[in-house]
Amino acid sequence: MTRVVVVGGGLAGISAALECADGGAQVTLLEARSRLGGATFSIEREGLWLDNGQHVFLRCCTAYTDFLGRLGVRDDVTLQSRLDIAVLRPGGRVSRLRRSSLPAPLHLAGSIARFAPLPPADRVRLGPAILALRRLRLDDPSLDETTFGAWLTAHGQRPAAVAALWDLITLPTVNLPAEQASLALAAKVFQTGLLERADAADVGYARVPLQRVHGDAAARALAAAGVDVQLRARVGSLGAGTTVTWSGGSIDADTVILAVPHDDVAELLPREALAPGFEPARLGASPIVNLHVVFDRRVTDLPFAAAVQSPVQWVFDRTASSGLERGQLLAVSLSGADEYAERTIEELRAEFVPALRDLFPAARAAEVVSFFVTREPRATFRGVPGTAAHRPGPVTRTPGLYLAGAWTDTGWPATMEGAVRSGLAAARQALGARTRATELAA
């Protein structure tokens, strides 16, 4: 029986371990932290469960939705039957981005034609830009040589249109604004999420704390699959490629799947494992900041909303999932949050509580009971032009050693979908290599 060691218990490592176990391998998963789930987890503050980030998915995230099924938690998430996003502006003004029954890319035409945050002239300019974006070839390496913002400018998109529409999608998916994001990554998001299938961008999110959806459910699924999970198991080195030394001992494996963040992989990966030119440490990092605001009463009936002309980007009603019994808990998600990463709690509260009251008129009479901040300084790699050159695929030049993680070459930005896809790709390459070796030996 093939012995596989998976290093890392995030979504990539979990999906790789389950795939290998389902393929008949004997699997050990080593995770340095005391929990599974990686970058998606929950913490308890004052009796409330708060997610470290508002991790949503789209209907086009098929690997991730299959992953939820494998964990047995599809009932713990909700997925829109049809895309419908409330877009808020100060003064309580609400617009909608809804899809119709028309095929892509016409499914959003009616909604965009009525989209009040955009002046009529900018709405007219959207059509040619959308068609040009749809025609881009995602396998064209030159797309990773320029920013999405520069491309938008060249296609007639003024700053107001970028702020009011394009960045509504670019910021939460690439974790950078269009002016910084690689055209290659942004084009992937828009083509796959909005321009290929009408239903691709229907929004899904967890109805319960993320720790229950990912970490706790994964622990059950891995145990049922016979995977030996070792928590608080910090790996110190990889000897001869597939000998893993960790805080609890050493394991000789046939295959190792290294599913750790890109800024941790350099200290574990043998120097010769990657082809010259790949330097994952150069991928950098882009932060995400989340604000968790508890009001003494309900201030909105919206499950989530985007915002423009406001420092608020996206806001989610997490009252039920947090366990709050009275009032309402709104979670504000700030992507590409360089500007806010070092702000104090008091500074953030001073800026964002008034901003929320501008968006939700009912909040003006409400008292803020609690205000929490969660920060992920290295939430994702920094998806700027040149990113592709430092994102290797799952196969390394060291026999038996494979890579997984949302930072690897999945074709996606650093998303839950990309993480799961990377784990599956690494596991399938590993299982296939062992099968081929067995056939040759026979």
Whichever domain contains 426, its CATH number is 3.50.50.60
pLDDT bracket for residue 266 (50, 70, 90): confident
The answer to whether residues 331 and 316 touch, using CB atoms and an 8 Å cutoff, is yes
pLDDT bracket for residue 440 (50, 70, 90): low
Both 251 and 110 in one domain: the answer is no
- Taking only the tens place, the pLDDT of each residue in 311-369 is 999 999 999 999 999 999 999 999 999 999 999 999 999 999 999 999 999 999 999 99
Residue span of the structural domain in which 56 resides: 39-99+202-211+285-380
Decide if pLDDT at 193 tops 80. Answer: yes
- Mean pLDDT, residues 406-417 taken together: 97
pLDDT on residue 238? 86
Both 190 and 110 in one domain: the answer is yes
- Taking only the tens place, the pLDDT of each residue in 214-244 is 999 999 999 999 999 999 999 988 876 689 9
- Confirm whether 220 is domain-assigned: no
Decide if pLDDT at 434 tops 90. Answer: no
Q: Domain containing 75 — which CATH number? A: 3.90.660.20
Nearest in space to 429 (alpha carbons), one of 378, 386, 384, 395: 395
Both 269 and 405 in one domain: the answer is yes
DSSP state of 395: B
d(CA 116, CA 111) in angstroms, rounded, equals 10
Both 112 and 81 in one domain: the answer is no
> Strand, coil or helix: what is 68?
helix
State the chain's mean pLDDT as an integer: 95
Both 260 and 299 in one domain: the answer is no
Q: How many structural domains are present in the chain?
A: 3
Query: Which parts of 96-147 fold into alpha helices (H)?
Result: 109-113, 120-135
The position carrying tokens 């309900």 is: 298
> Which pTM was predicted?
0.96
Decide if pLDDT at 433 tops 80. Answer: no
Nearest in space to 287 (alpha carbons), one of 171, 407, 193: 171
The answer to whether residues 308 and 168 touch, using CB atoms and an 8 Å cutoff, is yes
Instruction: Establish how many alpha carbons lie within 13 A of residue 300's alpha carbon, considering only the half-sphere containing its beta carbon.
Output: 27
